[in-house]
Amino acid sequence: MALTILEGSTFCVSDERGDIVEPTMGLFAHDTRFLSRWVLTINGARPLMLSSRKVEYYSAAFFLRNPAAGGLAHDELSIARERFVGDAMQEHIVVSNHSRRRVEFDLTLDLGTDFADIFAVKAYDFALGDPEHAPPLPNAVPPVYESSENQFVLAGGGDGFTGLTQVVLSERGEASDSTITYRIELEPRDSWRLRADVIPSLDGVRTAAQIAERRFGDELARVRASLAAWRLRVPQLRSSWDELTHSFRQSVADLSSLRMDEDPRLPGQLPAAGMPWFMTVFGRDTLITCLQTLLFGPELAQNALAVLAELQACEDDPVADAEPGKIVHEVRHGKGAEAWFPRYYGTVDATPLYLVLLSEVWRWTDDAGLVRDLREPALRALEWIDRYGDLDGDGFVEYLSRSPRGLVNQSWKDSGDSQLFRDGRRAEPPIAPCEVQGYVYDAKVRLAELAREVWRERELADRLERDAAELKTRFDQAFWCEARGGYYALALDAEKERVDALTSNIGHLLWSGIVPPERVDAVVDQLMGEELWSGWGVRTMSAGDVGFNPLTYHNGTVWPHDNSLIAWGLARYGRWPEAQRIVRRLLNAASYFDHQLPEVFAGFSRTETPFPIPYPTAARPQAWAAGTPVLLLQLLLGLEPDRRRHVLGTTAPDDIPSWAGSLRVTGVRAFDKSWDVQLEGGRVTIEQA
């Protein structure tokens, strides 16, 4: 079992004993592995487990016992390892003698790194890569022990890499090659202590050994203060429904752990996509997470809008799938940037979602200044939709990768086999995904409102409203399938043939508002029918399609964020029983994952499995999975901002089911005011704090 702790974009993956021994483990920063081996032994044998767990998202504790080795009997020693990750890693090791005799033993640390890029390491993940055919990882870098500073320095790694890792030790031992050994003598009830500071440096600048301890003291204080401030700023929930209480609390912790400063030159923090391989900015993931968590206040969303505007493409660069106005898909640093791209733009939906988020922040804040400040990025995004997004002029936004290294599929279901016909055939690009047309429709409706009320550009507003109305009509004609009771196709392929798989994407169409009233019943019936509804949530693909597999990433699994947007769409159309059903079942599912919803879980039917089945190596925490309980709470309460009156209101019915119990949420922020929300007897009441 792997245990991961993180702070910002630095994270450590180890086994349950605290050792770094597997190909996918290590200390990572800047998309580069700075420590690939970190193993503690007693008399040459690894200690045995007692217990281990994360304490906070940035710290963990490992409690071990000695093996019978080198003259020691079982359980004479306890070994405690306390680890903290900030910009670097610090570990405190305490060995205690619990026997009634004096003991002598050797404690050895074996360390090393290969400075592998994160994509090379990811290839050894059995669920996401192909370890048997993955290229070999780089050779380990020989550590150099510097006696004067009592530290190991690991530098180089080939390919002109200038980074280094320092391992600064508080006690002197016998260094040899990649190990340091401490010959320890302990009287009964006595203890021995070691502090090790592991400091990654991308630019090769060293940290003086004598200031390492002070640096970590300052860093620990900063991280704790940041977490405390975050917890005070987000709303406080008290609920009789334990599944909601625990899931919401876990979301607060997870979203705090995923906050990162993308670039010191850019403003503010925003959520990274998820652990362990996506501790970076992902345009789509960041935007959806911010949409899910406006209940927490506007700061994350405002930061995301500003950062993504700075990263918006300015040039036509086929190698990076970039065109002017396009919102970035993925940002990488260090060796990860060399292996992939520093900035990659292969996503078709982040650009309209950027406009949706800008509008939603305005609806919660009435911040006209923000909308004016971001007018140019918004107009550039709109131009990308109309000029570059529509590849053939048919009025629909399509994707076709121009990069030889780019993603084949560029919607949120971006795996290579996600675009399938009902009979299992793969669709050929260019592909126009159905949900993206909905996002574009919503973006144009919302931007028309901003153009008319903030920018005072009535001609633009009128044009956008006409465009949206025409798109709604054309979309219905092009994507609607009469078979199976009626539904919208997954996409249009290169020949404009309907890719007729029945998928969860149709729920996103409800969220966008592109579905005409006469189609709503059919769409809802499909979403909640036996083929799509698993009992734990809506599956990504219908069990009636040839390509369905409950264990395939996008063709039959259940994605919490996907379901949260579907529930939002159901609520938008007043389909409250169905929306509430998703709320209840997803939070029930969360209880089987220690209340931490994973990125994705298997799509087996609830009638077949008494509990939801984990998906191998699903990211946890993952940003839009962590955002899901927050949005579900908002939907359960029907919370809606009223911008014209500057009040927070509710659209929820007065007969919310009794399973939701009673609850009180304090400190919900909208329009620079704080609001208290209460659910009692099935009815929601709101008052200004």
The 3 state secondary structure assigned to 549-572 is: CCCCCCCCCECHHHHHHHHHHHHH
**DSSP strands (E only) in 440-521:** 480-481, 487-488, 491-492, 498-499
Return the domain boundaries, the chain: 2-223, 234-688
Q: For residue range 79-118, list pLDDT tens digits in order.
A: 999 999 988 999 999 999 999 999 999 999 999 999 999 9
What does the radius of gyration of the chain's CA atoms come to, in whole angstroms? 27
The pLDDT tens digits for 175-224 are 999 999 999 999 999 999 999 999 999 988 888 766 666 666 676 777 77
What's the whole-number average pLDDT of the chain? 93
- Reply yes or no on whether the pLDDT at 128 is more than 60: no
What does 647-681 look like in DSSP terms, one character per residue? EEEE---S---GGG--EEEEEEEETTEEEEEEEET
pLDDT at 2 over 90: no
Asked if residue 264 has pLDDT above 60, the reply is no
Q: How far apart are CA 38 and CA 30, in angstroms?
A: 19
Residue 160 has pLDDT above 90, yes or no: no
- Over residues 41-59, the pLDDT tens digits come to 999 999 999 999 888 888 8
Among 3.40.50.720, 3.30.2020.30, 3.30.160.20, 2.70.98.40, what is the CATH number of 2-223?
2.70.98.40
**Residues of the chain with pLDDT > 70: what percent?**
95
Q: In terms of C-beta distances under 8 Å and separation of at least 24 residues, what long-range contacts does 514-519 make, across chains too?
A: 514/437, 514/438, 514/441, 514/442, 514/471, 514/472, 514/475, 515/488, 515/573, 516/472, 516/476, 519/476, 519/480, 519/486, 519/488
Q: Tokens 């520093």 sit at which residue?
A: 342
As given in the structure block, the two tokens for residue 492 are: 């249009």
Work out the pLDDT band at 132, boundaries 50, 70, 90: confident
- Cα within 13 Å of Cα(58), Cβ side: 27
> Which string of DSSP letters, residue by residue, matches 427-455?
PPSSBEEHHHHHHHHHHHHHHHHHIIIII
pTM comes to 0.91
- Distance of alpha carbon 683 from alpha carbon 479, whole angstroms: 39
Tell me the one-letter amino acid at 367.
D
Q: What local confidence, expressed as pLDDT, does residue 222 receive?
A: 73
Give the rounded distance of the alpha carbon of 406 from its chain centre. 21
pLDDT, mean of residues 627-635:
98
**Residue 256 confidence (pLDDT) above 60:** yes
Angle between helical axes of 375-383 and 350-365 (0-180°, round to 10) = 150
As its CATH architecture, domain 234-688 has Alpha/alpha barrel (1.50)
What's residue 134's pLDDT? 80
C-alpha distance across the termini of the chain, in Å: 45
Element (H, E) at 236: strand 236-239
Per-residue pLDDT of 378-402, as tens digits, reads 999 999 999 999 999 999 999 999 9
Q: Angle between the 299-311 and 283-292 helix axes, to the nearest 10 degrees?
A: 160
Q: What is the pLDDT of residue 507?
A: 98
